[in-house]
Chain A
C-alpha cells in the first residue's frame, strides 16, 4: 500500500462530507420534520430590567392553531423555571417575576405552524414595570447600584474574583523596573453569529418512553447529562442528536432556555416540538463573547527586556454567568497572557460582574478567553516598543521564549509544550519583505500617506484538558474514539467530538487510514449521536484534534497491536518477528512476507489464533497529559484613507505552527476562516446597547459581518513544531488565527498613526473612529 493510496496524515484529501452539502442534502436541525410536529416561538422582553406585573395569554390561546402558551409560573411548578449554567451559576428558563435583559425569554407559544406561532407571540400581553438597567460593570460594582440578581445570597453585582501568578514577585519587578507602560483596553461584546441560528426538535415518544432532541449542540453528551440532571429523566432515556451544524464557534456550547422549554413542551404534549431562532433572537439573546475591560501594565528594562506583567480585568458577564469555561477557570485561560515572552513574573486579576445584559462570556472562536489574553500582551509589547523607540519585531526577538527553554513553565503556571517563536517570526518577516515595507512606509509618510505594519506573535493554549485540572460541571475533559474494522477491511470510527464545519469526517478518517494502512475512502466517521458515539466533551476551544484526535490514534494503535498477533498467526512467525512498515506487518529481514490490514481484518473474523478474542475493534478514552500550545507570527499591512478614515488591509501574512498537520487543505481553510473572524471584531463587529439597555445591533443590517469585499486575500505559511506529548504531534488550529489576527491589525493601524502621537485604539476600528482621530491630529482630508 502506498501513501498515495492510503491518503493518511499530511495529504490534502478532499472532504468526505462535501458531496451531501454541495447537493443541498445536508441535514440541519431545521430540516428535521416529524409527523404531527408543532412549532414553538418565544415572547421576549422589550425591557432590559423590569418587574413582570401580569402575563395574559387568553387572546393568544384563543387563536386558531394555538395549542399552548407556557409561562415561568407553569415551569416553576415543574421546578424548571431555573436551570444550572455550565459555570455553576443558575439561569432563568422563563421568568416568574422579573426580566434582566432585553429580548429575554418571557413566555413560549406552541402552535400548529410557525406562522401561527409568530402571530400568537404578538397576542400575548405582558405588563411590565420598568426598573433601572445596569449596563456598565464599573457602575454595577458601586454599592448603590440596582441589584441584578436578588435571587443570590450575596447582595452585590460582583460574581467572583480570580487571580493567577505571583503578586509579590510581580510588584517587586515593577518597583525595580526602569520602564513601565500602562494601558486601558476594552474588548467589546461580540457575537459568533454562525449563519445557522440555534434551535431544536424535541420529541418525547410515549411508546418507548424516550426523549430524542435534535439540537444545534457543540457538546451533545455534556448536554445529555445536563438535561438528565435538570429534568430527572434517566440518561439512557435521553438521546441528543447533533446533526449537521451550520457553524458553532462557541455559540452552540451553552444550553439556551429555548431548548429546555421545547423539551418541557414535548413531555407535556407528547408531540414533537420544533424551535428555531430567527436571526434577531440569535443576536439579541444568545450568549456573547468578550466584554472585557482590561487594565494592563508592563515592566521592562531600558534596553527592552520585559520583566513583569500586571493585569486587572473587569469582566461583564451579563445577567447570568453562563460562560462555558472549565469549572476552575471562571476567566478561562486568560492567564496565558504572558504570551510568547519570557518574563520573571506576572499577576493577573479578574472580577466577574453582573449587568442587565444577556449572559456573556462564551467563546467567539477563541479557546476560553485566549483572544483577550493575546490582545493584551501583543498590544502591550507594541506599546513598550513605542515607548523605547524600538522596532516591534526587534522587541519580540529580544523577549521570545527561546527554543531550548521548552517545556517552558510560564509565570502563571502553564507548561508550554513546544515552540520555535524566532523561526516563525523570521519566516514571516522574510516572506513579507519587512525591511522593504519599512522603507516604503518612510517614503509614504514623507508624502503624508498613512501606511502601517503590524506584528502579532501569539501563543495559543488548546486541547483541554488534563482531567486533573479541567472539567465542566465536574465532568472531566477527556475525549474518546471507538474504531471497528469490518471483515472486509472497511472501518467505522465514532468520536466524542462534534464537527460544525471543521471536517472531522475527513481528518479523523485520515488518522485511522495512516495508523492502519487502510485507504481513507473505506473509513466512515460518525459523531454527534449520543446513542451511538462514545462519551465526549464536544468540539470547542480547538480541542478536537488534541483530545479526540489523540484518542483515535491510540485506539487505532490498539487495533494494530491485536492485528500483529493475527498477522503472526497467518505468517507463522512470532509477533516479535514482525514490524509495521509501509502500512503492513512485515517479517523482519524479509519485507516481502507481509499481511495488510485488510487481510488481517478478514482473518480476525474467519481465521484468528486459538485463544484470541475474535473481531477487530478498540476504543480509547484519552486524557491528555498537558494542553498543546500552537503559535504563529502574523504581519499585517494597512493603508488608511485620510478622506474617510477607512482602514484597508493591503496584505496579511499568517505563519502558523499547529504541530503535525493532518490535512493541509483543511488546516489552511481553518486559518482563512479564523483570520476573517479575527478581522471582524478588529474592524467591524460590536454589540451596542442604548442607555435603556436596548440592543441596537440586533440584525445583520447593524451587526456587520465581513463580506467577500472587505475580506483580503489571506496569505498563509507554516512552520512545524510537533507537540512532544500528543501521539501524532498535532496541536489544533481552528482558533489560532482568530486570536492572532486582531492585535496584528490594531498594531498596524496604530503604527500607521504613531508618528501623530497615537498609542492605542480600541476595537472595532471603524472608519468613524479613525476619522475622528485624523481630525484631532489635523490630518483629515
Chain B
C-alpha cells in the first residue's frame, strides 16, 4: 500500500515516518512509537480513552489520521511528567483516588489538562461538562472531579507551571 512521509513532534521529540494514509493517529502512537499509554476503548469516538492533545487541543486519536498531524505537536500521557515531577493533574488523580482500573485515565487526564489550560478555576459543572466525552466505568466520576479540582488548586497556586501542547 502507498505510504506518505510525516513529521510530527510527540512529547517534545520530533519523529519522521512513512505511514499508510489510513493509519489512525492512535495506532501510530501505540504501534509505531510504542507509546501505549494512549488506549483504545471504542470505535465510534465515544469513549475518549484515546484522547491526546494536538497543538494543545484535545482530540480523540482514534478519529484522526496520522497524516493529518503532519507538522503538528502531540502531547500524550507519557509527556505529562517533566523532570521527574508529576503534572498536577497526575498528582490529583493519585491523591483523590481518581482512577481504578486505569484504562480511561490517560485520556481523562489529557482532557483535564486541556480544560485547566483554558479555564484555571472551573466549577464542578464545568468540569463534568468538559469530561463528558470521556467515559469511565469504574469511578462514578466523583473522585475524577475532585482530582481535577485538586490540580486546578495546585496549578493556581503556581506550584508547578505547565503548558499543554508540548
Contact = CB atoms under 8 A, between A and B. Distances in A.
A247 B132 contact: no
A708 B128 contact: yes
Given A195-B41, A700-B47, A705-B137, A503 B77 contact: no
8 tightest A-B CB contacts, nearest first? A24-B37, A501-B101, A246-B103, A21-B102, A672-B140, A700-B46, A24-B77, A501-B100
The winner among A17, A22, A279 for most chain B CB atoms within 10 A is A22
A17 B102 contact: yes
A247 B103 contact: yes
Contacts of B94: 14-15, 18-19, 22
Contacts of B76: 24
Interface stretch (A25-33, A81-89, A219-227, A309-317): A25-33
A669 B97 contact: yes
A669 B42 contact: no
A669 B140 CA distance: 8
Interface in A1-49: 14-15, 17-28, 30-31, 33
A676 interface: yes
Nearest to A669: B97
B136 to A, nearest CB: 7
Interface in A653-678: 665-666, 668-670, 672-677
A182 B129 CA distance: 42
B122 to A, nearest CB: 12
Contacts of B149: none
A278 interface: yes
Interface residues of B, number: 58
Given A669-B143, A699-B43, A115 B22 contact: yes
B97 A15 contact: yes
A78 interface: no
A97 to B, nearest CB: 31
Interface in B89-115: 90, 93-95, 97, 99-106, 109
B35 A707 contact: no
Contacts of B99: 18, 21-22, 501
A197 B41 contact: yes
Nearest to B76: A24
Contacts of A500: 101
Contacts of B38: 24
Contacts, number: 179
Interface string A235-278: 00000000011111100000000000000000000000000001
B4 to A, nearest CB: 15
Interface string A189-225: 0001111110000000000000000000000000000
A285 B104 CA distance: 22
Contacts of B95: 14
A611 B33 CA distance: 57
B120 to A, nearest CB: 19
Contacts of B135: 195, 700, 705, 707
Contacts of A18: 93-94, 99, 102
Nearest to A282: B42
B141 A24 contact: no
Interface stretch (A158-166, A559-567, A709-717): A709-717
Given A196-B39, A708-B136, 18 more contacts: A24-B36, A24-B77, A26-B37, A30-B30, A115-B20, A193-B137, A195-B39, A195-B135, A196-B101, A247-B101, A249-B137, A500-B101, A672-B141, A699-B43, A700-B135, A708-B141, A709-B128, A714-B140
B140 A675 contact: yes
B155 interface: no
Given A195-B137, A672-B139, A700-B42, A26 B102 contact: yes
Contact of B101 (A246, A699, A700): A246
A500 B42 CA distance: 19
B118 interface: no
Interface in B128-166: 128-129, 131-145
Contacts of A676: 139-141
A245 B101 contact: yes
A723 interface: no
Contacts of A20: 102
A30 B27 CA distance: 11
A116 to B, nearest CB: 9
A98 B59 CA distance: 43
A606 interface: no
B18 interface: no
Given A701-B44, A705-B135, A666 B22 contact: no
Interface of A: 14-15, 17-28, 30-31, 33, 114-115, 192-197, 244-249, 278-280, 500-503, 665-666, 668-670, 672-677, 699-701, 705, 707-709, 711, 713-714
A28 B103 contact: yes
Contacts of B30: 30-31
Contacts of A28: 36, 39, 103
Contacts of A194: 101, 103, 137
A672 B132 contact: no
B106 A673 contact: no
Nearest to A249: B137
A106 B166 CA distance: 45
Interface in B27-68: 27, 30, 34-44, 46-47, 49
B100 A195 contact: no
B100 A279 contact: no
The winner among A19, A21, A278, A672 for most chain B CB atoms within 10 A is A21
A114 B62 CA distance: 14
A701 B135 CA distance: 12
Nearest to B127: A708
B44 A713 contact: no
Contact of B100 (A23, A197, A669): A669
Nearest to B142: A672
A23 B144 contact: no
B43 A24 contact: no
Nearest to B20: A115
Given A24-B78, A666-B97, A669-B97, A711 B42 contact: no
A248 B34 CA distance: 25
A312 to B, nearest CB: 33
A673 B46 contact: no
A65 B159 CA distance: 52
Contacts of A666: 97
Contact of B77 (A15, A23, A699, A713): A23
A709 B132 contact: yes
A775 B36 CA distance: 51
B97 A279 contact: no
